[in-house]
Structure 1
Amino acid sequence: MSQYLLSIYQPDGPVPDAEILKPIMRELGTLNEEMKAAGAWVFAAGLYPADTATVLRPQGDDVLITDGPFTEGKEHLGGFTVVDVDDLDAALGWARRLAKIVTLPVEVRPFQH
């Protein structure tokens, strides 16, 4: 078994209204339960907007702390799921279903062993 990070990228800007998010969250909950039943689900979480981030950068013997995302961009990491599956094809299968539910790009990346 191998673990994969399924990263959900969302555009910067306001969060969609509750009427849009409610059915998405319901379907996401169902998918998470299916992953758990299949033994694939390890961990999942949504993140607060990128402007709530704090970045620490080494600078000589010190560490500089700044507010905001690491880089300015048009999208940011909005949430993620970690799965433990047999291979990349299995991870892509779960990611495909996740992308259809959240209607956002999902990046699949294996963890190093």
Structure 2
Amino acid sequence: MKFLVLIYGNPESRQVWDGLSDEQKAESMTGYTALNDALAASGELVVSHSLGDPEATKQVVFRNGRPMTTDGPFAEVKEQLAGFYLLDCPSMERALEIVPQIPEAPFSIVEVRPIRDLSSFS
């Protein structure tokens, strides 16, 4: 089964990150490197990425059948999607076991969502 693990940050956590030196940032990334290596070795990691700042977001909505593009996130919320893991593991329980290993998990909200299998519709 595939699961999308969504990691949310907020402006305060982004400011802390931006205030770190390059050496401190590199040191904090070792936890992510170790987790990525372990998940790749177990065959559970499909892909993982950190996302750019929400201010760089473009949102596309359709009005009268035509796309309209706006800057930034649509919703005024504290938490913004910061990164994700796409995992292929046997169960939701296993996906939930992985979450505490995410270095940012204690300081953010992490959502685990099953991927819907739509292959029967093709």
Flag whether TM exceeds 0.5 (same fold): yes
Counterpart check, 1:48 vs 2:57: no
Q: 1:74 aligns with which of 75, 78, 83?
A: 78
Q: TM-score, normalised by structure 2?
A: 0.83
Counterpart check, 1:4 vs 2:8: no
Shift of 1:72: 1.4
| Residues 39-48 or 21-30, more deviating | 21-30
Whole-angstrom distance in 1 between the partners of 2:36 and 2:5: 12
Structure 1 portions without partners, runs of 5+: none
> What's 2:15 paired with?
14
Deviations along 1:28-76, one digit per CA (max 9) or x if unpaired, are: 1001000011110000000111010000111112211101012111110
| Residues 39-48 or 15-24, more deviating | 15-24
Aligned-residue CA RMSD in angstroms? 1.4
Matches within 5 A, 1:1-113: 2-12=1-11, 13-14=14-15, 16=17, 17-18=20-21, 20-98=24-102, 101-102=103-104, 103=106, 104-113=108-117
Shift of 1:9: 0.3
Q: TM-score, normalised by structure 1?
A: 0.89
| Residues 63-72 or 75-84, more deviating | 63-72
Alignment identity in percent?
A: 28
Whole-angstrom distance in 2 between the partners of 1:87 and 1:67: 37
Whole-angstrom distance in 2 between the partners of 1:72 and 1:9: 14
Shift of 1:22: 2.7
In proportion to residue count, which structure has more strand?
1
Number of residue pairs the alignment of both structures matches:
110
Partner amino acid, structure 1, of 2:67: V
Partner amino acid, structure 2, of 1:48: G
Shift of 1:95: 1.4
Q: Which has the larger radius of gyration?
A: 2
